[in-house]
Structure 1
């Protein structure tokens, strides 16, 4: 996943409000455990991989594959995820902030922890 799939908006950790919303949704669905994974890459590698992914999709479309071609992400969108000379993206900062945020509790059974995601508990 390059730079949070280089998408910005309310569906990724590039948006600061995503973490609290995600935690609330998971607590409401009675998830007991979940994991937040962050995969970072240097900005130049992220840009190159994004362009290669788009070009590969375009070539497949020309050969009769998916008519939509590849997913295009403008370089300026990727650039906006990096600040200064850091190789860490705003996605990483927002994911860490979400992990450090107290978990909203819908019931006493819900808790925030770093673990593999589990399915919601079934009601009897």
Structure 2
């Protein structure tokens, strides 16, 4: 007896997902985390360090920084950038965990410039 692998007409096609839907779901599941996540803002020109170990993603800007420098200057950063906290961040960019914030990128950049160089490059807020 020969068994056919061809499907016969179904009476209710709404219950079965079509092939395109199955393929799209499979492709979406296969995307690496960087591609599956929303895009981070533009890299800040002077606050993107190749040797940094954490990426802060704010609205409109992203910063690749050193968690140790940030923790040294701020108890808040010390708490949110502990080794355990960084290990729990799933999203990665440029090999580093990404910490997303709702802060405005340009404002966060001024704070970070104060931390990194005493604010010598900060533009005064009027």
TM category (shorter chain) comes to: under 0.3
TM-score (norm 2): 0.22
Q: Which has the higher strand share?
A: 2
Q: Which has the higher contact order (CA 8 A, sep 6+)?
A: 1
